[in-house]
Structure 1
Amino acid sequence: MFKWIKATKMSFLTLLGLVLLTGCDKSQFIVLNPKGPVAHEELRLIILTAILCLIVVTPVLGIFIYIAIKYRDKEGNKAPYQPEWAHSKTLETIWWGIPIIVVAILGVFTAKTTLALTKPPVKDVKPVVVQVTSLDWKWLFTYPDKKIATVNYAEIPAGVPIQFVLTSDAPMNSFWVPELGGQEYTMPGMSMGLWLQADKTGEYFGTGANFTGKGFAHMQFRVKSVTQADYDKWAEGIKKSSPSLTNDGYKNLAKQSTVVKELSFSSYPKNLFENIVNKNGGIYYHHMNHMGDGKTTSGMDDMPGMDMGTKK
């Protein structure tokens, strides 16, 4: 009987593994294809969580099968019948103790990883600041250092921490580049912080991960990682060949539309990002700096690390 149960468990787990791994390639499971330090750490947490879940689920399924067979209603079944049985300290300890241990392990590793990712591990490289504004239904990227802007695509240097500073001039959304790291919300009247880094050159899929109306499916963008030399060359090319983004141009851009694809601008109105935050109330103004090096982003006060903002 036990051999049959063991064989059934192995067959079930094998079938489950095949189902999960069917078609498992980089294009379909980009969350499991990390290309940056943040994504690598998050993948470790995903794997740890899956292992802990299997430690719990596998015995439960095995016990379920065992009990269903042992106590099934059939003629001549000699399994003990105990209608007055109500309590077992041993079982209570098991089914309360195991979840507590699992949650404790997850909590420790999650807290450790989160704290480790508040600042990038690279200390001798100046981070690049990219301001991100979610619109209906498009993404605006402004570069304070280069004084340029793009729509629905961002270009970044490989091997350099990128400090994304996020807000919204539309309903709340969520900025997500799965291969580079986790998502962060964009909210009207707030500026949130998220640092990511691409290990190598390449192109990565980005999207809005929060429902924002009928055009939600079109809120996709690409992040292109290039060498530092190509990044500087790209920025200079935009400054020379692209039009300027004016205040009126931004107002038209902010209107609800899914027609706009990728755009580039050689300049944008001064303090555009800060004005967008303040325009929507600015109650909670999330001040971000260059992740601890003391150099603040354009128009923002210094504040250590990634702490939450203060009321303005």
Structure 2
Amino acid sequence: MAARIARCFMLLPLVTMLAGCDWVVLRPAGDIALQQRDLIVVSTILMLLIVLPVMALTGIFAWRYRQSNREATYDPEWHHSTQLELVIWSAPLLIIIALGAVTWIATHTLDPYRKLSRLDAARPLPAEVRPLKVQVVALDWKWLFIYPDYGIASVNEMAAPVDVPIAFQITASSVMNSFFVPALAGQIYAMPGMETQLHAVINKAGDYEGFSANYSGHGFSHMRFRFAGMDGAAFDAWVAKVRASEGTLSREEYLRLEQPSERQPVRHYGASTAGLFDAIVNLCVDPTKMCMRDMMAIDARGGLGKAGIYNVAHLAYDRSRSRLDRSQDEAYVLSLCSIAPETMASPAPDAPQYGSVR
């Protein structure tokens, strides 16, 4: 027994190592993350209202009715107590009702697709403030951020002005990832061929960490990026710095960038091709490929008819299962519109400037 106690005391110094931990989930810098923190705290307290009494009573009953306690009442025929049943069932039922109500409200209030209505608990969102649009692409194994209003992009670095709503559009290039900045908001999945959204705001200037919260392969552990919350003037200076970069995020450059790589340094692109994010979502950055939206439009109109049957019937991997007659040498030609060439994006003349935002 003494040896066990000694081992416990030897482990106590390890607890001091936790002093270096940053409890960012419980001390976030964004209003959405703060509301999610409050939901976690409230839910935990409500559940502890049952857990703690049960744990305490387990110890009390074990001690009171131990075999050596001759003073405890011994009643082997006891089987029911209405008062005890009321307590046992009513308390958990009330807690479940409270948890259900809190969860239902939070599910709608914190819907990531819902636009913000406030900057924080004390300040509603001013009508004149325009959201900052950021298009996020999860690559293998790095993050690409496109700012469509400014015609710029960056790799593994993102900046946003304080107290300005951020409207994220999120997708992935190959496999599912999860976009997560704990100080800003909860994680949102990034999936290829799909677009997810997130509306959030950062309320304190500082450097924060973002990463992928969903395992996505060999380089997953290094798939991290810097999220910088800045005042309006500092953000405008950051935009000017990125614009001064020589790199251009064209379709060809994106196809090179999406190739798997690890530990990528921060990279800036002073110009970005218009419509690139839409092409990424529709899996047609390569101009020789048909966009997914065009395929779905053809399917919605009934498919390709005879031409489609012929093309599918001649797929090599379907030969063993096909029951169609291939003895005829017929071919069908289908004419499809090609992708129009796109010009290099230039910053929108009415792109918002955040130097005067308060």
Q: TM-score, normalised by structure 2?
A: 0.68
Which one of the candidate residues 39, 43, 55 is aligned to 2:37? 43
Pair 1:107-2:70 in alignment: no
Partner of 2:28: 34
Residue type at the aligned position of 1:266: G
Pair 1:119-2:115 in alignment: yes
Give the stretch that moved more between structures: 247-256 or 106-115. Answer: 106-115
Pair 1:61-2:87 in alignment: no
Report deviation, 1:234.
Answer: 1.7
Report deviation, 1:92.
Answer: 4.2
- Rounded to whole Å, the distance in 2 between the matches of 1:171 and 1:139 is 13
Partner of 2:312: none
- Rounded to whole Å, the distance in 2 between the matches of 1:75 and 1:54 is 30
Report deviation, 1:174.
Answer: 0.9
Report deviation, 1:224.
Answer: 0.5
Which one of the candidate residues 211, 225, 236 is aligned to 2:229? 225
Aligned 1:1-312 pairs, distance under 5 A? 27-74=21-68, 76=70, 78-82=72-76, 85-117=78-110, 118-120=114-116, 121=118, 122-124=125-127, 125-279=129-283, 281=292
Q: Is the 8 A contact 1:70 1:79 kept in 2?
A: no
Q: Is the 8 A contact 1:26 1:33 kept in 2?
A: no
Q: Is the 8 A contact 2:138 2:172 kept in 1?
A: yes
Report deviation, 1:201.
Answer: 1.5
- Rounded to whole Å, the distance in 2 between the matches of 1:43 and 1:262 is 30
Number of residue-to-residue matches in the alignment: 266
SS in structure 2 of the partner of residue 167 of structure 1:
strand
The runs of 5 or more residues in structure 2 that have no matched partner are 1-11, 119-124, 285-291, 297-344, 346-358
- Rounded to whole Å, the distance in 1 between the matches of 2:244 and 2:21 is 35
Partner of 2:316: none
* CA shift digits 1:56-105 (9 cap, x unpaired): 111101110111112222273543242x5555554444344333322221
TM-align CA RMSD: 2.6
SS in structure 1 of the partner of residue 204 of structure 2:
coil
Q: Quickly say closer, same or farther: Cα 1:81–1:230, change in 2 above 3 A.
A: same
Residue type at the aligned position of 2:198: L
Give the stretch that moved more between structures: 211-220 or 141-150. Answer: 211-220
- Rounded to whole Å, the distance in 2 between the matches of 1:26 and 1:106 is 33
- Rounded to whole Å, the distance in 2 between the matches of 1:155 and 1:31 is 20
Q: Quickly say closer, same or farther: Cα 1:195–1:22, change in 2 above 3 A.
A: farther
Report deviation, 1:242.
Answer: 3.2
The runs of 5 or more residues in structure 1 that have no matched partner are 1-17, 285-297, 299-312
Q: TM-score, normalised by structure 1?
A: 0.77
Give the stretch that moved more between structures: 232-241 or 29-38. Answer: 232-241
Residue identity over aligned pairs, in percent, reads 37
Give the number of the structure whose alpha-carbon radius of gyration is greater: 2
